[in-house]
Amino acid sequence: MVVFPNAKINLGLNILSKRPDGFHDIATVFYPVQWSDGLEAVEAASLKLDTSGLAIDGLATENLCWKAWQLLRQDMDLPPVHMHLHKVIPMGAGLGGGSSDAAFVIRLFNEKFKLGLDVATMERYAGALGSDCPFFIRNKPAYATGTGDLLNEIDLDLSAYVIILVYPGIHIPTKEAYQGIVPRQRDISIREIIGQPVTEWKGVLVNDFEPVVFEKHPGLAGLKEALYVEGAIYVAMSGSGATVFGIFPSTTSSEALKQRFTAEEHMVFVQTPRSWN
């Protein structure tokens, strides 16, 4: 069985408070995009994970796909599998690629081995692997709070727009991104802002990581400005970086956009207007 774990972008990200456990309470909107990995799983004599595409650091046993199988195996009689992960979504880019891979493993095994897990149970397992893993179980636009694990589906459809994602190859550790952040509550929530037209988001829908990250990596601020110069309606960094995305009118030439930013040796993905299924 083959599945295609997709990425997400963050539409706004507010860091509200620091928790006693050392993590932070946030508010954001997760929105799925089509930039996808490929994942295949077949029954085998022993558990195995191999990869292709982008190089993945670390041992196979440290990969979230491996850990997802182990997590399910604790409670269910899962047979060993041979998993092959073709990595396309860049890692450490604020796109949730690793979390998506893990969530899709749970979904895949649930279907393949007829485990009978409902959505809430799959989300619980996913939450044990990472804060944004549960989002990829339903894989629909959601307002996220807590550490990103408390999800409320929202009615948000950006299928009428061209969305370009540009990853300049800069890895920003989450710990580094949080340095200099001062959590604070907001008068207007991201959920309220998202309810306004996309044309009203600029300057209002913000990612709190941007000032800190842009100071250390000024090229990202330049990239954001370049996307606005090209005609974007709204531009932001996703998560703690370093992918920057722009939302453009449907009449925008997606091929011209891709050529413009690929020429600068960035990794570029363009999502053309469509409905998300």
Positions marked active-site: 8, 132
CA distances from 178 to 23, 79, 143, 149, 241 (A): 10, 40, 21, 18, 11
For 127, the token pair is: 């939450």
Residue 250: which of 140, 161, 121 has the closest Cα? 161
Beta bridge partners of 270: 164
Side-chain-facing half-sphere of 267: CA atoms under 13 Å: 15
Residue 225: which of 238, 216, 240, 214 has the closest Cα? 214
Side-chain-facing half-sphere of 272: CA atoms under 13 Å: 6
Note every long-range contact of 60-68, with CB atoms under 8 Å and residues 24 or more positions apart, other chains counting: 63/98, 63/101, 64/98, 64/99, 64/101, 64/102, 64/105, 64/129, 64/130, 64/133, 65/39, 65/101, 65/102, 65/105, 67/102, 67/129, 68/102, 68/103, 68/105, 68/106, 68/109, 68/125, 68/126, 68/129
Kindly report the CA angle at 5 between 276 and 223, in degrees rounded to 5? 75
Residue 137, classed as helix, strand or coil, is: helix
